[in-house]
Structures are given as structure tokens and as C-alpha cells.
Structure 1
Amino acid sequence: MPEVRARARGPVAAAGGSLLPAAALALLTLLLLMSAAPSARAEGTARTPARDAAGPAFDIDGERIPTYDVVLTIRPDGVLRVRETITYDFDRNGEHGIVRRVRYRDRNRLFAIRDVRTSSSTGAPARAKTLHLLHDVQISVGDRHRKVRGRQAYVIEYEVGGAFTPYSGHDELTWDALGTGWDVPIGEAAARVEAPVPLRRATCRAGEPPATVPCLRDRDGPYAIDFTQRGLRPHEGMTVRVKLPKGAVAVPPPVYASPHWDATWQGTTALALALGAVAAVARRPPGRRVGAVMIGAGAVLVAADAADDAVAHGPWAFSLGDLCLMGLALAIVGAGAVCAGRNGAQGATDTRWEE
């Protein structure tokens, strides 16, 4: 029986070590899927476009947004000032408030969402709590200790820095005025654009990209344009695009972050070699202490790689490259050494006990 256990421990140790790289690769795949921008959807999954602005609003029982009014004020310094007035119908069970997600990262482009302020004209709790997620700033408005019911009105105000994109002949603003994170239908939506110069080239499209329809447009003088849309389904928004003459407003250079996944073939090769080394380590383990040191060194490399961009742009601006893959390679080999060493020590103990 001792010989049978000794033969079985080698394959078991190798199999246990091979699960570690599989788990690491699954984690990296999850990160890649999380970092994919929502705008990069396949055409086959596109939703039906929003109804025409002249069509009837949806009549759906339960929670909904009857009216959603947004004012986008373009300042001379290039900062976009946003004021959202949201009328929300809660069901009879009530909720603690609303949650608005504002995108601050579009692929690798970064926007600065700052100076968030909230209020309520109906007396509902309107304390704001912000949380940076992978691509959005989550603005929670309400009170977790108190529920609200019926129709309530909220106002969310914030500034957006770095929203303009400079081109050779003009500067352009493209902004989703409502966001596409709402799980309820929106009856009447309006987006008003105000600028310090005459607005000659401004458009709006409603729906969920790539299936969108033009919004109804109404000019209010040379410096303001109103766009309206009725009957938006859940996760449909209004994307406003404004082109201004060069020099009309100050436009700083856009800010970009490194991709979440930025590895090259060198790091991939190091990880592949680590996978091959697990079997050799299982046969001749260098010792659990050496394995623990390798795991610690690998963790330091992964943390250093993730923190490089996160320190400058926030926790969700991490970029994993070759340093991360090399750290994973060390950790995988170290984990294999620890597992093999532990199994070997246990096998020696069993053999002495049976003798």
C-alpha cells in the first residue's frame, strides 16, 4: 500500500499544480471581459431602436421615469457642466433612492467627473455617495436607512473635464446625456445644450447603439438647442454630439490610460514556461520555503504592475502587462513547489507510520 500511495501522489501533485494556472488564466479572462467597453456590442445583439419622438410613451406598470431633463452647459474653459432633473416613480414597496452611473472611461479615454451635488424638490433623502467602478462613477442618491415611495424628483449636478476631442478643423463633444444604465423605461426625455458661441453643428440620436434614431430638435436662439425623445426603453439613452469652431472654447489634450491588458509576447512566453515548469517541480520539489518565497515575489510583481497606473488615475485604471505575467509565472511555480513539498512530506509521514 505505501508504494501505491507513492505512485499516486506524483500525478495528484501535478494535477493540483495544473489547476493553479487554469485559475489564473480564468481570472485574466474575466478581467478582459470586464474591461470591454459596452459600446463594442455585436450587431446581432442590438436592441430595437427607441420609438419616434412623435410616438406614444410606454405605459408600463411598476417603476419608471416619467420625465428626465438634462442641461449640458459648455463653459469657455472647455468644462461641461451637467444638471439632470429626474422624476422617478417608485413602486409600493419603495426603494432607498436612485443610482446613476456616469461613464468616466470610454475604452482607454478618461474623463474627470467632479463636483457632484444632489438635491430633491419633493423632500426625498438626497445624500450623494460616489463610487468609482471599472468604467463608471456610480452616484447613489438617497438614504439606506429610509425608503421612499410614489413619485419623487431628484437633481444631480456634476462637472466633466476633458470631454472635448480636438480635431484639425474643429473641437467635438460627444456625450450620452442620460446614460444607458437605467433598468426602467423613460417616458419623456429632454437634453438642452448651451454654449458660449452659436451652435451651428449639433445633433442627437436616441436608443441603444448601434440601433438609434434622430431626436426631435428645437432651436432656442443661436446659443441653445433642445433635443427631445419619447418612449425610451430600459438601457436606451440620448447621445448628443456638438462640433465647435477651433478656438471657441479651451480644449486641453485628452487624457488616456493604458489598456487593462497590455502584455506582449515576452510575458506570455514567461507564463507558458511556468506552466511547463509545474510538472518538473512536482517531480523534484525545491522545498516549501522556496515555493513560498516565489509566491511572495510573484505577488509583489503583480501588485507593482497594477499599481503603476492606479496610483496616477485611480484604482480602476490598472494596466496588467509583462510584469504581471512574470509575477503570475513565479506564483504558479511557487504554488506548485509548495503543493508538491507538502504532499511529499505527508507521504514520508505515512510511510513511517505504516512501517
Structure 2
Amino acid sequence: MPDVRGRVRGPAIAAGTLLLALAMPALVLLPPARGADGTHETGGTDGTSGTSGSAEPVPAVSGAVPPPETGAGELTESIATYDVVLALGTDGVLRVRETITYDFGDTGRHGIVRQVPFRRGDRLYGIRGIRSSSSTGAPARVRTMKLLNDVQISVGGLQREVRGRQAYVIEYEVEGAFTPRPDHDVLVWDAIGTRWDVPIRNAAVRVEAPVPLRHVTCAAGTSGATTRCLRDRDGPYAVDFIQRTLAPHEGMKVRVRLPKHAVAVQPPRYVPPRWTGGWPGTALLVLSLGTVALLSRGPVPRRRAGPALAAAGVLLVAADAGAEVAAHGLWAFSLGDRCLAGLALVIVGAGAMLVHRFRAV
């Protein structure tokens, strides 16, 4: 009598291992990060910070030096002036120049910290060319560290503290900041950010473009605010907005609409599918491999058992991922517990079909 077990065990285990291998690369990916301003994008621009139902998640530039307080609870630090220049290049790169006049008061500090996002939701941005300087002679050495979602930029010196009013200039470039639309291209950028813990006395944002600017707006306040910024000066290729007395955690969000082909818009980048399942789904996936191995030694499964299990697994995967994919596109898909359970059923179903095929001969 032929050795049926030897003929079945190898193919069955190989099939289960192959299906598991297809899912394992997601293990090395980070779980999805959902910041206060990191909603999914559905064909929008760079999004709205923390606004539900918006199709345009904004990459909010933010940073903070924790402000000390006096015994009466009054802040001794503030930002005297905050000037931002957003230069829209024909190559599709956003060039940012921020001049921050920070008043440290009598408290000694080593400098300031800025956080520039490279990821919001499933959208990725390229941050490059970071440099800094100081017109007041303060240490302006740049140290960067990539966190889960932001590039943290520390400007200052570890060996020297500064006091009083100091001016810092931070420059960097952002790739992939524009979002293409069928008949125009859009940029949404939170130029000030809403994570400063100190008040900003005077803020100004200048937008420069290679074509006449006809559709530019600015909103000031906390996340989701709609208060219009004061429009200072308009030119054919530049628009200036100003805002006075911004409270802590209030910023200025600029939205620019450009005609098609005004700049070379790069295709938006998104993170690949992610592993978001917990131990229940992972355990089911591992147990499915053991089940496939046991099937090769037990009774021959019924003919319809394998297809039924595989079909149930496919339906479970579709139910888990369908809503995300339909709402936000394929890149929003993640491997959650229900999806992992569905993959486990597919593995067992495929193993049962292989066992039935080889042992029923």
C-alpha cells in the first residue's frame, strides 16, 4: 500500500506555510498612527487637522518648549514673532522658512524643538534639507530624530543656555505635500501648528507661487477653526496673512488651489497594509498551521469542507477590510483580528482541499 501520509503531509504543510508567509511581512510594519490631525485621505489634499468628515488631512507642523510658570501661574515665555514663508516650487517641492523670535524670559534654555510630520494617517511626506541659524548669536546646531510620525528638530546647544529674546531660522523642504485633483492641485499646510504651549504675539504667513495666486485662504485658531486670517498684502505671485495674539495651541492653516500643471505634483505616497491584529487573531493564524498538519494524519475531510472554510475566510477578510478600502482606498487596508481569523480559515480550507485531493485518490 503506498505511503499516503508522506504524499499528503508535505504539500499540506507547504500550502499553509506559503499562505502564512504572504501575511507575515506586515509584522515588520508599524501599527497605524492616528494623530489629532491625522485622518485618512479620500482624494483630498493634505487634510484637515482633527476635522471629522474632511477629505484633506493636514500635516501640522508643531513643536514646543515647555513653558515654565511663575508662582502665580503666569507664563514667563512667549513667541514674540513667528514668520513663515511657504514657497511653492515648480518641481512640486514645498520649501518652508520659519523665523521664530522666542522670548525665554529669565529662564535658561538650551533652545527650541520643532516637530515636522513625515506621516499623517496613511499619507507619507518626505522631509529633507533641514538647516537652521540664529541672527541673535544663539547656538543653532540642528539635531534631528525620527519618531513614529514626526521628524523632531532640536535647535540649540547642549553646553550653553540662552535667555531673553532669541531669533531662530529653520528651513526645510517637503516632498509629496501637494494632492492632485482632476482639474486642479491643492496644498493644505498648518504653518504655525497647534501644539505650542506659549502664546504667539504676532504671526505672519507668506505664500509664494510660480503662477498668479487666485485661490488662497487662511484659517486661524485651534484645530478645525474657521476664523479667517487678516489678509495683509496681495501680489500677483505672493499673498501675506497676519494674525495677532494667538493663544497657546492656536495656529494658522493655509489652503492653496493651483491650476493644473502649475507645479509638477508628485503622486501621493501611502504606507502599505499594516498589522493591527492582537493576540487572538495571531493565535488563530498560528493554530491554523497546526490544524493543517493534523489534517494530514486524521480522517479524510469531506469534499465540501475545504471550499466552505476557504469561502468563509474570504468573506471574513472582506468584511474586515471592505469598509476601510471603500472609504479610503487600498492603502488603508490593515490586518486586524477579523482579517487574521479569515486568513486562518483560508489556510485550513486550503489544507483540507489538498488533503482530500491527495488522500482520496
TM-score normalised to the size of structure 1? 0.61
CA contact (8 A) 2:275 2:336 kept: no
What's the % identity of the aligned pairs?
Answer: 61
Counterpart CA distance in 2 for 1:217 and 1:42 is 24
What are structure 2's unaligned runs of at least 5 residues?
Answer: 1-26, 40-49, 53-73, 288-332, 341-361
* Aligned partners of 1:35 and 1:260 also within 8 Å: no
| Farther off after superposition, 231-240 or 144-153 | 231-240
Q: Partner of 1:77 in structure 2?
A: 91
CA gap 1:274/1:215 in 2 versus in 1, 3 angstroms: same
Which residue is 1:349 aligned to?
none
Q: Does 1:169 align with 2:183?
A: yes
Describe the shift of the 1:77–1:154 C-alpha distance in structure 2 as closer, same or farther (beyond 3 A): same
Contact persistence 2:281–2:336 (CA under 8 A): no
Give the SS at the match of 2:164.
Answer: strand
Match of 1:113 among 127, 131, 141: 127
Q: Secondary structure at the match of 1:154?
A: strand
Measured in 2, the distance between the counterparts of 1:78 and 1:219 equals 25
Counterpart of 2:343 in structure 1 is none
Deviation by residue 1:104-132 (Cα, 9 ceiling, x = unmatched): 21111111110001000000000001111
Q: Trace 1:1-355 onto structure 2 (pairs within 5 A).
A: 35-39=33-37, 41=50, 61-258=75-272, 261-263=275-277, 268-271=280-283, 321=335
RMSD: 3.0
Give unpaired runs (5+ residues) of structure 1.
1-27, 44-59, 276-318, 327-355
Q: Give the Cα–Cα distance (whole angstroms) in 2 for the partners of residues 193 and 103 of structure 1.
A: 20
Query: Structure 1 CA distance, aligned partners of 2:238 and 2:207?
Result: 5
Aligned residues, how many? 236
Higher deviation after alignment, 98-107 or 68-77: 98-107
SS in 2 for 1:211: coil
Q: CA deviation at 1:258?
A: 2.9
Q: 1:92 to 1:170 in 2, by over 3 A?
A: same
Amino acid aligned to 1:126: A
Q: Give the TM-score normalised by the residue count of structure 2.
A: 0.60
Shift of residue 172, structure 1, vs aligned partner: 0.3
SS at match of 2:240: strand
Q: What SS does structure 2 have at the residue aligned with 1:244?
A: strand
1:236–1:169 Cα change, 3 Å: same
Q: Distance in 1 between matches of 2:207 and 2:232?
A: 11
Kept in 2: contact 1:192–1:224 (CA 8 A):
yes
* Residue 144 (structure 1) shift: 1.3
Name the one with the larger helix percent. Answer: 1
